[in-house]
Amino acid sequence: MLSQSEIMIAISQVCDGIKELLISKNAKYGNSALDPIRVFSRSDAVEQLLVRIDDKLSRISRGAGLVGSDEDVVNDLIGYLVLLKVAWRDDQGDEMSDQWSGETVEPEYSINNGRFAKAFTSIMDGKS
């Protein structure tokens, strides 16, 4: 079992890895998640990210996305969730800027009143 300090280091390393992945993809593909070109869809960035998350969870629930310890799928989901927080922050302005103050800041979007958490839990438990 990891010690408290080892856990803190591991959390930092995982978060740094996700950060580097997102920064790398943003440099490679441009700001397509938060500023899409909207050729076919006119939805805002938040809605488009929610659709991407929905799609990823749908594929996982149907057995096409999470095989064993497929880190790419997990990293994609974490990345989409981080981008969703960035989009919320952008939509909410300065209201969300003090993320680490200890206060819970609820964005305007509630992800369907908890449906996201319930759906994710059931998918991870194998109950689609």
98, 105 contact by CB (below 8 A): yes
The 8-class DSSP code of residue 97 comes to S
pTM: 0.69
User: pLDDT tens, 9-23?
Assistant: 999 999 999 999 999
Residue 37 has pLDDT above 80, yes or no: yes
Instruction: List the domain boundaries for the chain.
Output: 31-124
Residue 110 has pLDDT above 70, yes or no: no
Distance CA 64, CA 70 (A): 11
The residue with greater pLDDT, 111 or 36, is 36
**pLDDT (0 to 100) of residue 65:** 63
